[in-house]
Amino acid sequence: MSAPSAQAHFPIRLGLAMWSHNYWQSSLYGSGCKNNERLARYAEVFSTVEGNTTFYATPAATTVKKWHDATPDDFRFTFKLPSTITHQHQLQHCDQLITDFFNVMSPLENKVGLWKVQLPAHFGPQHLAQLATFLERLPKHFPVGVEVRHPAFFAKGEEEKALNQLLIAHHANRIIMDSRPVFAAPPTTDAVIDAHQKKPKVPVHAIATSDSPMVRFIGHPDDLSNDPFFANWLCRLPKWIQDEKQPYLFIHTPDNNHAPELATRLYKKLQLKMAETNLPNVELPKAEPDPQFQLI
């Protein structure tokens, strides 16, 4: 698989946790949009998406081709590696699984921004050698993001230092989970309770170990309550862009019903902040639904 071509007009890539959600029919898609047209409509607004379905099962080859045909050349997916590789085998003795997965996904070879290696919480410092071997065996041009959840990797000690150095050595991006907003929300709705049970509550360590740092911002259900938490990113993201990195920013909410609206609102804040930096040749592209598709 070849590396995706650089897109200078995307200094940052903005996306959501999925591209198909029934609640978005009256906002992101528009009433006339059919289910099989949702990805194309989504890709008119956002430049990337989290591909989480591959974590649970490898899609059919025909499905992969449809995803390719529905998106423009400059769109970028970030697919999770299957759980059979990351969780069941814990990156060991899975060469055939890896080969089979990448063979199926090969039609999207130029549209993958990051292959996401999400590791379970019990994958700790004692497993770093497994991660190193795994990264060494991947083709060098594969863009990779690694998400860890073991507490030792957030303790600012020697274990975290070893992880970061390993990722830097292999040009792998450390995926950053910012779940502060959702954990600041009281558990008074089913969606927030579910998020509190499933999302990791880990410190935010905003480090870029390679060229495409990924931030997963898990939002508060109250729109304006997200602003104090996003303020840090209004400083960090422009700094990364100034350092010629291309960050990936994914916006979630507990039920994701209003994730598109939150994403575009926070993005506009970032646009204003970027305008203040006066970086040459850096202009954030538009990221909001076409008014003709919006019913609200």
Cα–Cα dist 262/215, whole Å: 15
Enter the DSSP assignment of 58.
P
Phi-psi region of 82 (alpha: psi -120 to 50; beta: other; left: phi over 0): beta
Cα–Cα dist 209/168, whole Å: 5
Q: pTM here?
A: 0.91
**pLDDT tens for the chain, residues 1 to 296:** 333 334 447 889 999 999 999 999 988 988 789 999 999 999 999 999 999 999 999 999 999 999 999 999 999 999 999 999 999 999 999 999 999 999 999 999 999 999 999 999 999 999 999 999 999 999 888 999 999 999 999 999 999 999 999 999 999 999 999 999 999 999 999 999 999 999 999 999 999 999 999 999 999 999 999 999 999 999 999 999 999 999 999 999 999 999 999 999 999 999 888 888 776 445 555 555 554 433 32
Domain boundaries, the chain: 13-293
Topology (CATH) of 13-293:
TIM Barrel (3.20.20)
CB neighbour list of residue 239: distance below 8 Å, 6 or more residues apart: none
- Specify the residue for token string 């150095």: 165
The predicted pLDDT at position 288 comes to 58
3-state helix, strand and coil shares in percent for the chain, rounded to the nearest 5? 45, 15, 40
Shortest CA distance to 196 belongs to which of 181, 214, 206, 209? Answer: 181
Length of the chain: 296
